[in-house]
Amino acid sequence: MKMNELMENYRQQNCNKRMYWKLMRERLLPLLEYQEIIAESENCESIEIQKNGIVLSVSGVKLYFDFSQIVCRAEVILSKSENEDWDFIQCLVPEFGTIFDIGANVGWFSLNIHAKWPNTKIYAFEPVKTTFNNMQKNIILNNVRHGIETFNIGFYNEKDDFKFFVPPASEAASLRPITDFFYTQYGNVGKGKIGEEVREIVCHVERLDDFIEKNNIQNIDFLKCDVEGAEKMVFTGGEKLFRRYQPIVYTEMLRKHAKRFGYHPNEIILLFRKWGYECFIVEKGKIKKFEKMDAETAETNFFFFHIQKHQKIINRYK
């Protein structure tokens, strides 16, 4: 029985006061588990139950839980189930730099950069409208008035309106159908509802080089890209950008996602090598050159440094 049903039963005098107290206490006990998680966490400060939502606060950044999804960024962060290389990234972002957050989702990366370096100029891009709106809510929640400019667009190697496939876990939205059942589930197992669903929506995408020229952007220092397999197409649409501005690139590369787009992640490594970059992975705060991906590769996130421009960084952390 849900808590509101229990309360209604008590109001209707279908259970006595002591039974009501006992049953309500049982339902409130899980709050102690959250308190234990917060107490043991180095970064998690609070989980707030507000009238307009549930908010996770981590290292000074707040994020709404989105329980309409089968998984959302807030619970991923709380459970520490993904390594975002955050400590190392903080060492790479210049205080007054220009940052591109491609595949910004609900804004976690951009909000963390802004919290650490409030003088940076951040461009956050998210093509899926509902996810974009959630990012806007999180920006307002964190009282950010300047420094993060948001765009409801994606990037590809051509400009057009494309069909996106959006599962209930909308952070896995992609230009190619999702094949992983986990992300296509809808409902909540605890409520006894489960099914499979993928919505199709139309989103606007542009080429990186066209966006740079149209908005007269003169420099980019750091570019993060997480677009569920379309990374190669994003990068090929920005060749002028990478040759001219040579930003540090932090990107996800997964074989299963790339396969849906008909390429292998090693093609991205070769592409950047042609532009004067090399690929690296991070191990215990140090970088290690990464030549190519094979069946044994466990890493999913990679850094690209321009061999000439970023030589000091390479020497410092290799």
Cα separation, 129 vs 213, in Å, equals: 24
Residue with the larger pLDDT of the pair 69 and 155: 155
Mean pLDDT value across residues 91-107 = 95
Residue 102 burial (10 A CB sphere; 0-12, 13-18, 19+) = buried
Residue with the larger pLDDT of the pair 88 and 188: 88
Give the SS3 label for residue 24. Answer: helix
Instruction: Report the pLDDT value the prediction gives residue 165, as an integer from 0 to 100.
Output: 84
Read off the pTM: 0.89
Q: What residues are paired with 101 via a beta bridge?
A: 124, 224
Instruction: Write phi, then psi, for 238 (nearest 5 degrees).
Output: -130, 30
Instruction: Report the pLDDT value the prediction gives residue 170, as an integer from 0 to 100.
Output: 59
Per-residue confidence band for 72, with pLDDT thresholds at 50, 70 and 90: confident
Mean pLDDT for all residues in the chain:
89
pLDDT tops 60 at residue 188: no
Cα separation, 173 vs 153, in Å, equals: 13
pLDDT tops 90 at residue 69: no
Q: What residues are paired with 204 via a beta bridge?
A: 161
Cα separation, 183 vs 186, in Å, equals: 8
pLDDT digits (tens, 9 = 90+) for 215-242: 999 999 999 999 999 999 999 999 999 9
CB-facing half-sphere around the CA of 219: CA atoms within 13 A: 7
Per-residue confidence band for 82, with pLDDT thresholds at 50, 70 and 90: low
Per-residue confidence band for 194, with pLDDT thresholds at 50, 70 and 90: low
Residue with the larger pLDDT of the pair 295 and 76: 295
For the chain, domains (ranges, CATH) are 1-31 (no CATH), 86-317 (3.40.50.150)
3-state helix, strand, coil in the chain (%, to 5): 35, 25, 40
Instruction: Write phi, then psi, for 40 (nearest 5 degrees).
Output: -85, -15
Residue with the larger pLDDT of the pair 176 and 62: 62
Residue with tokens 């899926």: 128
CB-facing half-sphere around the CA of 58: CA atoms within 13 A: 24
pLDDT tops 90 at residue 84: no
Q: Tell me whether strands 195-196 and 248-252 are parallel, antiparallel or unpaired.
A: unpaired
pLDDT digits (tens, 9 = 90+) for 149-171: 999 999 999 999 999 888 766 56
Residues 165/200, Cβ–Cβ less than 8 Å: yes
Instruction: Report the pLDDT value the prediction gives residue 171, as an integer from 0 to 100.
Output: 65
Instruction: Write phi, then psi, for 202 (nearest 5 degrees).
Output: -105, 130
Per-residue confidence band for 213, with pLDDT thresholds at 50, 70 and 90: very high
String of DSSP letters for 37-55: HHHH-SSEEEEEEETTEEE
Q: What is the distance between the terminal CA atoms of the chain, rounded to a whole angstrom?
A: 57
AA letter at 291: E
pLDDT digits (tens, 9 = 90+) for 243-296: 999 999 999 999 999 999 999 999 999 999 999 999 999 998 899 999 999 999
- The angle that helices 3-11 and 17-28 make with each other, rounded to 10 degrees, is 170
Q: For residue 150, which of 198, 180, 191, 114 has the smallest C-alpha distance?
A: 114
- In 67-220, DSSP assigns E strands to 98-102, 121-125, 148-151, 154-155, 160-166, 185-186, 195-196, 199-206
Residue with the larger pLDDT of the pair 114 and 194: 114
Tokens, residue 105: 């989702």
Q: For residue 52, which of 38, 43, 60, 62 has the smallest C-alpha distance?
A: 62
Instruction: Report the pLDDT value the prediction gives residue 198, as an integer from 0 to 100.
Output: 75
